[in-house]
Amino acid sequence: MLKLYIGNKNYSSWSMRPWVAMTQAGIAFEEVCVRLDSFSADSQFKQRMVGINPAGKVPVLQDGELIVWDTLAIGETLAESFPEKQLWPTDKAARALARSICAEMHSGFGALRSHCPMNIEALLPNRGALIWRDHAGVRADVQRIVVMWTELLQSHGGPMLFGAFTLADAYFAPVVMRLHTYALPVPALISAYMERVQALPGVNAWVQAALAEKDFLVFEEPYRLQA
């Protein structure tokens, strides 16, 4: 059976992507959660993961002797291994677009990721309002996401970005959770898409498990200690 190494569900946005994709698509796998005690070289997390993949990060997909790390590589491996699941759109142009927006998420949106780290169990509208006021980069990132999602939902007819569920929806699921946690302002069309994503069985299962963790990590939430 496939094995997927992940971090804490409440915080690990990168882990959420392949986990949601596999769960939603009905791909059987064994979950191995490695607690995020810190990311320093001497942390238990880093020492455990360096022994599994050279990057020393999660997520990692293991298929026997095959080790795949990085979410883009994992997504491509899953799509190749399970073509019947149609994890990418079947149309060539749509498939190229889906890959492009996933790659854009992978390498971009730094302001949103930095100022609004994923924290599923928290509701932080007041902090979100301050972030929205003070950080133009966050506003720009959200505007790009709004434009992207609007164009996709309108051109493909919903309910997901490319009509049916694909890796693109799994890839942006952590963004949905960030927008929700910090109550960042988005149009009604985007709010409706966010609700549909959160209602997906794969996403809902991840969220419920995240809420059950009760594992507060100070280094992930330094603002909680601020007066």
Determine phi and psi for 43, rounding to 5 degrees.
-70, 155
pLDDT tens column, 92-130: 999 999 999 999 999 999 999 999 999 999 999 999 999
Kindly tell me if the per-residue pLDDT of 224 is higher than 90.
no
Please measure the distance between the N-terminal and C-terminal CA atoms of the chain and give it in whole angstroms.
48
H helix runs in the chain, sequence order: 13-25, 44-50, 71-81, 92-107, 110-115, 125-134, 136-156, 167-181, 188-199, 201-213
Where along the chain do its domains lie? 2-85, 92-210
Indicate the class that CATH gives domain 92-210: mainly alpha
Q: Does domain 2-85 have CATH number 3.40.50.150?
A: no
Q: What is the pTM of this model?
A: 0.94
Q: Cα–chain-centroid distance for residue 45?
A: 20
Residue 177 has a pLDDT of 98
Condensed to tens digits (0 to 9), the pLDDT of residues 136-190 reads 999 999 999 999 999 999 999 999 999 999 999 999 999 999 999 999 999 999 9
- The rounded mean pLDDT for the chain is 95
